[in-house]
Amino acid sequence: MAYQVLARKWRPQNFTQLVGQEHVSQSLSNALKHDRLHHAYLFTGTRGVGKTTVARILAKAINCENLQDFNPCGECDVCRAFNDGRFMDLIEVDAASRTKVEDTRDLLDNVQYAPNQGRYKVYLIDEVHMLSGHSFNALLKTLEEPPPHVKFLLATTDPQKIPLTVLSRCLQFNLKRLLPTQIDQQMSYILTQEKINFEPAALKLLSRSADGSMRDGLSLLDQAISFGNGEVKLEIVSQMLGTVAQQPVDDILFALANNDGAEILQKIADISELTPDFSDILQQILRVLHRVSLTQTIPDFVDHDFDPEVIAELARKLLAEDVQLFYQIGLIGQRDLDLAPDPRSGFEMVMLRMLTFKPDGSPVQTQTQSQKSNVKPAVTDVKRVAEPQPKAIVEKVNNQAEQAKQTGADWSDIVVSMKLGGMTRELANNCVLDSLDDKTCHLLLTPGHTQLLTRRSEENLQKGLQAYCGKPVKLVIKTEKTNSVTPAQKTVKKNEDRQQAAIDLINNDENVQTLKDQFDARVMPGTIEPI
């Protein structure tokens, strides 16, 4: 007997064998159970998720002579005829090859005749969106009021192209894209039944490459079995798909965490010798960054698809805001990769952007080794603020802090003097100075801005205060409602006053008044801005 591909050999024959479409199988089983079958069904979804398969199972179930738990029994004459492809009352049509109105009319000429073998005559029209407008019109009346012995099962990947008049006459089911874990489990089951050796990591790679389609996944699995001479190994699958192993991706991310541009370029050069797909490498980096962000947000989160030690180490080395920035840069780089002169240079620029555009407090050193030995770093690390400073600078800073305490300097002025950035500046601007002495600084944070109080922002604010005071001042922040005005509120009030002053100036202008009086003119709201 000729070889049959896995996608056909392991096509589900009943509702219980369907993978990932429980919402559809349960609905159809209940309809069979209560004998509430609609006369027209429309199955939608991306390629390879089981639209035609579900339609065939339903067609078999409504004609089966001995349903088992409302599933086709697979043993009666009708089921055997279905399985052998000789059931005369199933009229299966590919609409892509029969788009003309004459084809549709010929198809419907025999609708009024009773079925030959089963209880129902079933019309299964695949890719129904390919029918012409006249064909849909010819189908409408029959689709709305078919004879009691006829059922219509329609399938499409593009329901937007189907007229609303047809959609309103059908019961629609949207089949979901399959998750990689669902495809992985089905592949594992099939290979176990086929007695084929495989590596779980290879199946994970194949299931991700399937992009939500079981048929695509099984086609790739067939290819991997042939490519691997009867075995499915990770190395063989990686070679077949043109993907790079996880280790180089991890090395690039660790070099990124260490701000080592030379190491990143060296790793990219090593990978280039394997003629890789740089778009796929960038996708792998995005997946790792996603897991790192999850680990930083939810420390107990565990994903067995990745090495937990590697993810934990990256989560420790990278700041949470850096991970978010890297992920966004990677997404934009993925979109623009095809516009680069060549994939490698485009990928290198994406990584260099990650090194260059970093939040305050994340200094970058991207010099080559020769530059590192001859050029002093131009960026000062935040950690250096605690190092011993020249005596004159220390005295100046101490004098500033002492003057601030003696004269009751405004907290807004202190915030400006500290030259903070990012979330740290927002935290300081939404606080009120309660007290400041040589040892402790007490701040009151307004209750509506507690989300700004993170470990990182609090540490940066304390370092800024220590630099301002020239002493190891301890920062204590309490969330408490206060009647004092925060720097942020002062800024808002100042902007509102400037805006109102600009509005008053325009409204009181003699020329504007003349225009209003003589031409019935008016000033459009929202068009006045202070200079």
pLDDT of 149: 92
For the chain, what percent of residues have pLDDT higher than 70?
88
Query: What DSSP string describes 176-223?
Result: PPPPHHHHHHHHHHHHHHHT--B-HHHHHHHHHHTTT-HHHHHHHHHH
Within 10 Å of residue 266's Cβ, how many Cβ atoms?
Answer: 14
Rounded to whole angstroms, the Cα distance separating 233 from 226 reads 11
pLDDT of 225: 92
CA nearest 323: which of 310, 314, 332? 314
pLDDT of 373: 43
pLDDT of 382: 35
Question: The whole model's pTM is what?
Answer: 0.56
pLDDT of 392: 45
Single-letter residue type at 42: L
Q: Tens of pLDDT along 33-43?
A: 998 999 999 99
Residue 517 exposure: Cα atoms within 13 Å on the Cβ side: 8
What the chain holds in terms of domains, given with CATH numbers, is 6-174 (3.40.50.300), 180-241 (1.10.8.60), 246-373 (1.20.272.10), 386-484 (3.30.300.150)
pLDDT of 55: 94
With b for 16 or more beta-carbon neighbours within 10 A and e for fewer, the 470-500 pattern comes to bbebebebeeeeeeeebbbeeeeeeeeeeee
Q: Tens of pLDDT along 59-88?
A: 999 999 888 888 898 888 889 998 888 888
pLDDT of 270: 84
Report, as ranges of residue numbers, the positions in the chain whose pLDDT lies below 70.
1, 242-246, 302-305, 358-409
Within its chain, how far is the Cα of 507 from the centroid? Answer: 50
CA nearest 24: which of 48, 46, 44? 44
DSSP state of 376: -
